[in-house]
Structure 1
Amino acid sequence: MKRIMPIVFCVALGATLGVVSSIAAPTITEPTRVQGMPGYNQPNQYLTRRAVKVADNMEPVIDNTEQNREARQKLEALQQKTGKRPNVVIFLLDDVGYSDFGFNGGGGAVGNDTPDVDRIAGQSLILSSAYSQPSCSPTRATIMTGQNMAHHGIQVPPMYGQPGGLEGLTTLAQLMSRQGYTTQAVGKWHMGDNVGSQPQNVGFDDFRGFLSVSDMYTEWRDPEYNPEIALSPDRYNAIRNLPFNKSDVHAVKGGKIENLYEINTETIKDLDQKWLAYTVDFLNHQKQAEKPFFLYYAPRACHFDNYPNDYYRGRSASRTTYGDCMVEVNDLFKKMIDTLEANNELDNTVIFFASDNGPEQEVPPHGQTMFRGGKGSTWEGGVRSPFFVYWKGMIPARKSDGLFDFADLFNTSLSLAGQPGAALAKQVPATTYIDGIDQTSFLLADKGVSNRRSIFYFWNDEIAAVRVDEFKFVIKVQLADSVTQAGYNGGFSGTIAQPWTALMFNLYTNPKEDETVSIRHIPAAIPIAGELQRYREVLKKYPPRTQISLKQ
């Protein structure tokens, strides 16, 4: 018992000091001295600052009053000029790593040049601490619900007809539609194949794409990757007869799925070009429309297995199928931007650019990250996404390490649509807890800082870690090499472990998370433990739910 006393004491004391030691403070937008004291206070650091409750069923926020006022003034001026709310675009990639783009040190340096993405990123707010969930379906559901995976319950991707999806949840598309937006989804869905979870039944006016995930359409067909299935007629037919949709599809709100053609190892090569054409056609139809639009654009790239079309095959310097598809991603994004500009819609469109999780590490070739771990894990490499926000003339070009959770896309999009802050609480059932935070002022203020105090990392419905400032307090980890030392091990390999006390990493001095500092930094651990205890109380009042999970 004596050995565990330090952390038990830390958690108990933190539960108290997490409230009473939090100090109201002015917003800091640059390093600031305090007279008579050494060092500097830094922007986006809230270890000792109080977060303010905005509604019982919403995460508390850092009160940055002055930047909130600045952001609202910008939005009001733009609406007077355009006569409508801004368009919102979420451009969401699949399994692309933090370090794959030039704006984060990759691009040509890793054999897949991304000049146009990097050019627009250079005119944007680049966020270096934007957090997804550990894998694709949980992340996509977080964007659509404003909830983490414990609350929305889609804790692993539903595969090959498995149950579990958005049915019964309040979605971003529904609420944007309620605010008078035209809602369009294009590309990968993967938030439930069942009828009630399909995009046309959860708020989208129109959908073109596929319902599941890239490898489900090809892996069992391809003798190079799965000869045990592809070259066994009985096994092949068993997979083919499973109840999952195998086509590129189209649907309109309230209607039925229309199968356009079956996706196989040949037709998959042209999916992203066909979806791009559909997106461009949508944008052209929205030119000078009275209603603003919400576009959720989710290319197939770059989830394994990658099958580049003839134009892009070998086009990357790396000459890998992954690199070739990254080069195509650059062109997809450029075409979307060019279309918006040609239609004079760029000034009134905010664009969120992101990947749904870190790189897949079990199946090469794959993406790059400077952090430890990859897809499927709560190590930084699994959940730290390449991310920027572009809004011509509205968001100044800069970089920030302020915390941003993908759940914040929900609140921020609806804030731009006319439901800021606490107003959003009334748009969802009282039993629904919104884990997102309205980050509008962080994005729009010239020197905006984050309105979020902490990030929570989840493994299924359990807290794995919490980050406040540069410190990450870890209570559950994934050990990819614990069982198999050979081959490619990643976030879906190995075992789950629980430290006998707790670990803490300084992500500035140790981004690889291989040197714990918890004992030396107990003064920092105490308020972080208090934040952990605060959210545990949230989970008692708003319990986790499970739509689909692999938890035993």
Structure 2
Amino acid sequence: MQKSIALSKSVLPVCVAAIFALTAIFPVSGLTADNTITRGSTSGQTTAKGYDHPNQFIHMRPAKIAENMEPVMQHPDQDKEAREKLAALEKKFGKKPNILIFIMDDVGWMDPGFNGGGESVGNPTPTMDRLARDGLVLTSAYSTPSCTPTRATIHTGQNPLHHGLTRPPMYGEPGGLDGAVTVASVLQKLGYVTQGVGKWHMGENEASLPHNVGYDNYYGFLGVSDMYTEWRDTYFNPEIALSPGRFALMQKLPFNHNNVRCVKGAKSCENLYEIDLTTIKDLDQDWAAYSEKFIRDMKDNTKPWFLYHATRGCHFDNYLNDKYAGKSPARTVYSDCMVEMDDILARLVKTLEETGQLENTLILLTSDNGPECEIPPHGRTPFRGCKGSNWEGGVRVPTFVYWKGMVKPRRSDGLFDLADLFNTCISLAGSPGAEVAKFVPADRYVDGIDQASFLIGDQGQSNRRSIIYTLNQFVAGVRVDEFKGHQTVELERAIYPRGYTGGFSGAIIPLTGGATVTNLYTDPQEDVSEGIRHIPIGILMSQEGNRYAEVLKKFPPKIIIKFGTN
């Protein structure tokens, strides 16, 4: 714990005295005392005025709206526009909007067609592409480096340092959402029917089960798909599958081996059927049918609903059912799975259309992290790194928001963190901005930001100034505008010189010196430092890192489960 706090004192290890000195030289406004701008180069002064661009806030200061919440870039006009649109929609339908979160597993930024993948990589995604084209594509949306931390971040509005699940618990390990305030529990209080379907993986102890943290009903499994399959596979794991003693040990490990149903008020979840190499092939189809039924059942309900649909695909191991095996032009189990995910999304959208609920439903599609790169075939990203790392490839995820008649078709590089879903969903339910604070204890920090006006405003800009990166139990870096500073990184090939090296096979390295700043527009591969060449940017980035270090002093990290013992 102390090590984590110490590492976070400065995201960019620059001398504090230099920071204060240079801040005086480079005032935030960029203006001299007489409000003139003198600039140029060795060739002489320039008369070019230059341009300011939307969603670039490094020269601006956000507003503090609550002691235990991240500061916000305020846009009063777009806030007003969003509230007026929401009020008109509520008047039309007589209730708050429905919310559908469709979260895939290990799908990379460039897997869907709307981000350049799709047909060009052998897995067409026509439904995703159509909805993205008619919605808002978020080109800089961020998860955490792995699945459990991201899922807990979505549910709590906290990054992993605050909710404490810094890595996935496996095979019955303790650790979960005990005592957490979740988006589902808040929406319940605000009159929503809450339904979860699919992958949980946020703890199997009683206090962490879905129906005990805000869900009226949950249908899915409590772990992650490889927990049910890899030790059974005689090809990938003959060391266990062909050893009766070892195999028997795996069968007895204290994790739930079944697809389950969890209902509010029940003491435990109901086991429905065991997940093995056969039943796993139909899981996503089974889950899709359950979500379809829920949507149909809610057709004439006077209450709005929240549906968290977390797919099994496309996390390894991808055991495809007969309908989808070979259906993608690439004919890999990963690409076949992407085709299946697109079809499942199409089914849910069709059900919304047939029941007349599409116009009153926000749909957000995303992934829990970047592509897993140690078990081929796997997803794709144009950025450096993979799942398990804080390089862009590990945490920048394919994301769009579709809402017929409410979200104007466009693309935006405004910053969006999946923690923002907590605040944004609560905002759509009628408690915007600082009102979120009334649902959480005063000693609990909310890292999410209400992005409702960003999504709904016709020209909406992000309400978020920065992204704080985490990696396991460490602060890993910060992004403001197109600039990213590193403090802790994962070096893919630091340990193993050959083979498939993804995020979980590398070494975690705290940076102890230098000015490591990357321009993500000019260097998306993060292989060149801009820190010395562009010192003023480094100073401004340091200020943001130091701001969050103060947050961690006041709201210290809470580590429930992590890598290592230190």
**After alignment, is 455-464 or 391-400 more displaced?**
455-464
Question: Matched residues in 2 for 1:418 and 1:15: separation?
Answer: 45
Aligned position for 1:30: none
**Contact kept in structure 1, 2:22 and 2:539, CA below 8 Å:** no
Cα distance, 1:103 vs structure 2: 0.3
The equivalent of 1:73 in structure 2 is 84
Unmatched 5+ stretches in structure 2: 1-11, 32-45
Matched, 1:503 2:516: yes
- Aligned partner of 2:320: which letter? P
Correspondence 1:13 to 2:15: no
Aligned to 2:327: 315
Indicate the residue corresponding to 1:357 in structure 2.
Answer: 369
Aligned counterpart in structure 2 of residue 346 of structure 1, from 358, 363, 366: 358
Measured after TM superposition, the shift of residue 328 of structure 1 is 0.2
Q: Does 1:462 align with 2:474?
A: yes
* TM-superposition CA deviations, 1:42-88 (whole Å, max 9, x none): 11000110100000000000011111111111111111111110001
In the aligned structure 2, how far is the partner of 1:483 from the partner of 1:474? 20
Aligned to 2:231: 220
Is the Cα–Cα contact under 8 Å of residues 466 and 474 in structure 1 kept in the other structure?
yes
The one-letter code matched in structure 2 to 1:517 is E
Query: Counterpart of 2:346 in structure 1: which amino acid?
Result: K
Shift of 1:288: 2.1
Kindly provide the CA deviation profile for residues 203-246 of structure 1, in whole angstroms up to 9, marking residues without a partner as x.
00001000000100000111111000000001011111010000
Taking the TM superposition and a 5 Å limit, the aligned residue runs for 1:202-351 are 202-255=213-266, 256-351=268-363
Describe the superposition over 1:145-168 as per-residue Cα deviations: whole angstroms up to 9, x where unpaired. Answer: 000000000000000000000011
- 2:560 is aligned, of 526, 547, 551, to 547
Are the equivalent residues in 2 in contact too, given 1:10–1:522 (CA < 8 A)?
no
Aligned partners of 2:224, 2:28: CA distance in 1, in Å?
44
C-alpha contact 1:15 1:533 (8 A) present in aligned 2:
no
- Distance in 2 between residues matched to 1:208 and 1:22, nearest whole Å: 51
Is 2:88 the partner of 1:82? no
RMSD: 1.8
Q: Does 1:383 align with 2:395?
A: yes
For 1:257 and 1:494, the matched residues in 2 are separated by: 37
From 187, 190, 207, the counterpart of 1:179: 190
1:118 paired residue number: 129
Question: 1:69-116: CA deviations, max 9, x gaps?
Answer: 111111111111111100011100000000001100000111111111
Match of 2:504, SS? coil
- TM-score normalised by the chain length of structure 2: 0.93
Q: Which residue of 2 aligns with 1:451?
A: 463
Instruction: Supply the distance in 1 between the matched residues of 2:218 and 2:60 (Cα, whole angstroms).
Output: 43
Residues 10 and 468 of structure 1: is their aligned pair in 2 closer, same or farther, counting only changes over 3 Å?
farther
Mapped partners of 1:104, 1:254: distance in 2: 42
Give the structure-1-normalised TM-score. 0.95
Instruction: Report what 1:151 is aligned to.
Output: 162
Give the 3 Å change call, closer, same or farther, for CA 425–16 of structure 1 in structure 2.
farther
**Match 2:171 to one of 157, 160, 170:** 160
Could you give the per-residue CA deviations for residues 397-450 of structure 1, whole angstroms, max 9, x where no partner exists?
000000000000000000000110001101100111000000011011110100
1:11, distance to aligned residue in structure 2 (A)? 7.6
More deviation, 440-449/457-466: 457-466
What is the CA–CA distance in structure 1 between the aligned matches of 2:426 and 2:162, rounded to whole Å? 19
In 2, Cα distance between the equivalents of 1:91 and 1:286? 18
Residue matched to 1:95:
106
Q: Out of 543, 555, 561, which is 1:530 matched to?
A: 543
SS at match of 2:296: helix
Q: Is 2:515–2:538's contact at 8 Å kept on the other side of the alignment?
A: no
Q: In the alignment, which residue of structure 1 is the partner of 2:484?
A: 472
Are the aligned partners of 1:464 and 1:475 in contact in 2 as well (CA < 8 Å)? Answer: yes
Q: Which residue number corresponds to residue 373 of structure 1?
A: 385
Q: Percent identity?
A: 56
1:191 to 202, 208, 220: 202
Asked whether the 8 Å contact 1:461–1:545 carries over to 2, the reply is: no
**Matched residue SS, 1:219:** helix
Task: Output the amino acid matched with 1:169.
Answer: A
Structure 2 distance, partners of 1:506, 1:173, is 37
Letter in 2 for 1:51: P
Query: Kindly tell me: are residues 112 and 469 of structure 1, through their superposed partners in 2, closer, same or farther at Cα, counting changes over 3 Å?
Result: same
2:15 maps to amino acid: F
Partner of 1:433: 445
Q: Residues 250 and 16 of structure 1: is their aligned pair in 2 closer, same or farther, counting only changes over 3 Å?
A: farther
Cα deviation 1:477-520 (Å, max 9, x = unaligned): 11111111111001001212233223111000000001111001
Distance 2:357 2:20 in 1: 49
After the TM superposition, which parts of structure 1 deviate over 6 Å for at least 4 consecutive aligned residues?
A: none
For 2:509 and 2:177, locate their aligned partners in 1 and report how far apart those are by CA, in whole Å: 30
Secondary structure at 2:388 match in 1 = coil
Q: CA deviation at 1:37?
A: 5.0
Given that 2:485 and 2:517 are in contact with CA atoms closer than 8 Å, whether structure 1 keeps it comes out as yes
Whether contact under 8 Å (1:14, 1:529) holds in the other structure is no
Q: In structure 2, the residue corresponding to 1:218 is in which secondary structure?
A: helix
Q: Of 43, 51, 54, which residue of structure 1 is paired with 2:65?
A: 54
Residue by residue over 1:312-342, the C-alpha shift from the partner in whole angstroms, topping out at 9 and shown as x without a partner, is 0010111111111110001000000000011
Contact 1:14 1:530 in 2 (8 A): no
Amino acid at match of 2:168: P
Residue type at the aligned position of 1:462 = F
Q: Taking structure 1 as reference, are residues 60 and 234 closer, same or farther at Cα in structure 2, changes over 3 Å only?
A: same
Between the aligned partners of 2:30 and 2:180, the Cα distance in structure 1 is 35
Q: Give the total of aligned pairs.
A: 538
What is the aligned counterpart of 1:408 among 420, 437, 442?
420
- Alpha-carbon displacement from aligned partner over 1:438-476 (angstroms, at most 9, x marks no partner): 001101111010000000100123211100000001111
Contact 1:17 1:530 in 2 (8 A): no
